Homo-oligomer: A and B are copies of this chain.
């Protein structure tokens, strides 16, 4: 496994792999602090491809506060060991000055999808994501890039950007991986205090309860209210950022539930803001 910090080295390594006959290059962009969710994407890239590239870069432009950026977990040695164990071919670990040299002035913006949910609470966040993903895709030039469903809105935004800009890459979205108590794997979980960690299980509990209520035919307003009450009771240290029922494609808030709905939430604990979601597909109503 090769570990490089320079853009030129990435290009050279990928070009060499292509020249050696790698038909399919798979790419997993990450901010490090790798967990089972990342590794499931890496495994998917390995199953689908001949050459697997992982990037580890805590992208400053997608953080709204310097504090959150500074506290983002960094576990490079363990990440590299994990990548090596999974047969990753190339890990790209650029510094901030390699990715954003002085004078950088270009931003990629997706309208619409980004003005709600996490986009509403984190202004500029998705511009940072789109810009860094554009850069990484142009550096690696993979055939497929892998994103996690836990960051559902991010995956939708990246898919829209790739389609709109005709990026020659398949965007693959892998399922959320969960802890035994249901908490979605996230690098930010490492920042939770023991008490917050125990309360954080309430996110998935609330989502499951919401999904059952939807299947029972309850409307969005009632479901949101019940979920908020459940979160207030089970996660008292957390402040609800949003609980939304949205269309899984356009991410618009739904007031009436159709064939399928995405329930998405964000809860801000003192130590970290967590997000999660669940998709509910309703059985055919019959003739």
Interface set of A (CB-CB < 8 Å, partner B) = 7, 11, 104-113, 130-131, 134-135, 138-139, 141, 160-161, 164-168
| Cβ A165 vs Cβ B134 within 8 A | yes
A223 to B169, CA, bound (A): 51
Q: How far is the CA of A108 from the CA of B131 in the complex (A)?
A: 9
CB atoms of B7 and A165 under 8 A apart? no
How many copies the complex holds: the figure is: 2
- Selected contact of A167 from candidates B111, B112, B138, B168, CB within 8 Å: B138
**What is the CA–CA distance of A138 and B137 in the complex, to the nearest angstrom?**
11
Q: Is the CB of B108 within 8 A of A108?
A: yes
In angstroms, Cα B141 to Cα A146, docked, is: 22
CB-CB < 8 A to A11: which residues of B? 168
Chain B residues within 8 Å of A141, by CB: 168
Of all chain B residues, which has the CB nearest A106? B164
Q: Verify B109–A107 contact, CB threshold 8 A.
A: yes
**Can you spell out 26 A-B residue pairs with CB atoms less than 8 angstroms apart?**
A7-B166, A11-B168, A104-B164, A105-B110, A105-B111, A105-B112, A105-B113, A105-B160, A105-B164, A106-B108, A106-B109, A106-B110, A106-B111, A106-B130, A106-B161, A106-B164, A106-B165, A107-B109, A107-B111, A109-B109, A135-B165, A138-B165, A138-B166, A138-B167, A139-B166, A141-B168
**In the complex, A165→B127 CA distance in Å?**
13
Identity of the chain B residue whose Cβ is nearest the Cβ of A164 in the assembled complex? B106
Point out the residues of chain B lying under 8 angstroms from A130, CB to CB.
106
- Residue numbers in B under 8 Å from A108 (CB-CB): 106-109, 165
Residues on B with beta carbons closer than 8 Å to the beta carbon of A109: 106-109
CB distance from A2 to the nearest CB of B (A): 19
Chain B contacts for A166, CB-based, 8 A: 7, 135, 138-139
Q: Kindly name the residue among A135, A138, A139 whose own CB sees the greatest number of chain B CB atoms within 10 A.
A: A138
Bound-state CA distance A99–B166 (Å) is 9
Bound CA span A161–B131, Å: 11
Interface centre among A108, A113, A138, A165 (most CB of B within 10 A): A165
Task: Name the residue on B nearest A130 (C-beta).
Answer: B106
A7 partner residues in chain B, CB cutoff 8 A? 166
**Which residue on B lies nearest to A107, using beta carbons?**
B109
Give 16 A-B pairs besides A106-B130, A106-B160, A106-B161 with Cβ atoms closer than 8 angstroms. Answer: A7-B166, A105-B110, A105-B111, A105-B113, A106-B108, A106-B111, A106-B164, A107-B108, A108-B108, A134-B165, A135-B164, A135-B165, A135-B166, A138-B166, A138-B167, A138-B168
